[in-house]
Chains A and B, each alone.
Chain A
Amino acid sequence: MAVKDYLRERFFPHMWCPGCGHGTVLNGLVHAIEKLGMSKNEIVMVSGIGCSSRISGYVDFHTMHTLHGRALAFATGIKLSKPELNVIVPMGDGDALAIGGNHFIHAARRNIAMTALVMNNRIYGMTGGQYSPLSGYGTIATTAPYTNIDQGFDVAALSMAAGATFVARTTVYHVHEVADLIQQAILHDGFSVVEVLSQCPTYFGRHNRLGGPVEMLQWFKDNTTRIGSKAAAENPELIQRGIFMQADKPEYCTEYDKIVEQAMAAAKA
């Protein structure tokens, strides 16, 4: 199927601002699905609330637009009742790790097979540029005009500690990596996290004087490097991109089926 066949073209042009990185995440995602050759009926996208979460309106899969921070809870219900479906859960940094932080760590801990796509623009875009748990120390936000004193989470380290079995990071500058990592995450049988650094030129960019979308993409290029590269060893300040963790652990739905079988056998005995 062609890439455009996975889109709901009737809703285009989309609602994101000019140069918003979330559009590039959508672009990479549909390319990943196209490369996997999946049919639209095999995929469910479940999202919460935020500019990022609006992504579910633009793809022609089964889609569900739910509550802020709660997408993973809805997704867990869907996956448990129809484990044959591929569940993708795109979330904003606030959606995933502020209001939804608890759902996030516990979904990871259970190792339920789904793909959590964290569209990290380090800000609450939709509500006007408040700082998020990913903004990081020293940044400016609508709610931190004199600089933010909160430290940020490291999404990859947090996900690994919580029990996710596939953990990766890239940026919207590195579009081939976006498509490739999403493909691998979808194929992984367990809880996968792909963090994609995305730009919000309207709030994060403007508040932090980072220039427009072009300058923000250039920043992703200049300030990141592949895991284990020479540059990473020489400059620990660089943000690392690639796969941090890929492990085999019992998957939740498979284990749940076993319990159902045991219970049925016990009931018959």
Chain B
Amino acid sequence: MAKRKLKEHHIQREWCKGCGICVAFCPKQVLEMDACDKAVAVRLEDCIACEMCALRCPDLAIRVDVEKA
């Protein structure tokens, strides 16, 4: 199977409530909390586009667009 490739990782800041779930469970430690307690993607080059952050976010604040093979 072809590897999934990230097209865009989008975090809607106004919807993020800073729960930390996406940061804690990202398998590649791509995400961090910033000084305002909002999630930000700091190591996008490591992102495997698994979409777990988008699916688990209780605030539906994350969208992961995957490159079409």
Contact = CB atoms under 8 A, between A and B. Distances in A.
A31 interface: yes
Interface string B22-43: 0011000000000000000000
A213 B60 contact: no
Interface string B1-19: 0000000000000110111
A214 B56 CA distance: 11
Contacts of A4: 63
Task: Please report whether the interface of chain B is mostly helix, strand, loop or mixed according to DSSP.
Answer: loop
B55 A213 contact: no
A23 B20 contact: no
Given A27-B55, A175-B55, A12 B19 contact: no
Nearest to A30: B60
Interface string A50-93: 00000000000000000000000000000000000000000000
A13 B13 CA distance: 10
A28 B20 contact: no
Given A24-B56, A27-B57, A19 B15 contact: no
Interface in B43-69: 52, 55-61, 63
Interface residues of B, number: 18
A26 B60 contact: yes
Contacts, number: 67
Given A13-B14, A175-B52, A213 B57 contact: no
A4 B57 CA distance: 14
A21 interface: yes
Interface residues of A, number: 29
Given A7-B60, A26-B60, A27-B60, A19 B17 contact: yes
A176 interface: yes
Judged by DSSP, the binding face of A is helix
Interface string A204-219: 0000000011100110
Nearest to A12: B15
A123 interface: no
A19 B14 CA distance: 15
Contacts of A12: 15, 59-60
A213 B25 CA distance: 11
Given A13-B17, A213-B20, A213-B21, A23 B59 contact: yes
Nearest to B60: A27
B21 A214 contact: yes
Q: Which residue among A4, A7, A19 has the maximum number of chain B CB atoms within 10 Å of its CB?
A: A19
A-B CB proximity, top 7 nearest: A23-B58, A19-B19, A18-B17, A175-B55, A214-B24, A18-B19, A13-B15
24 contacts: A4-B63, A12-B15, A13-B15, A18-B17, A18-B19, A18-B58, A19-B20, A23-B58, A24-B57, A27-B56, A27-B58, A27-B60, A173-B56, A175-B56, A179-B55, A213-B58, A214-B19, A214-B20, A214-B24, A214-B25, A217-B21, A217-B24, A217-B25, A218-B24
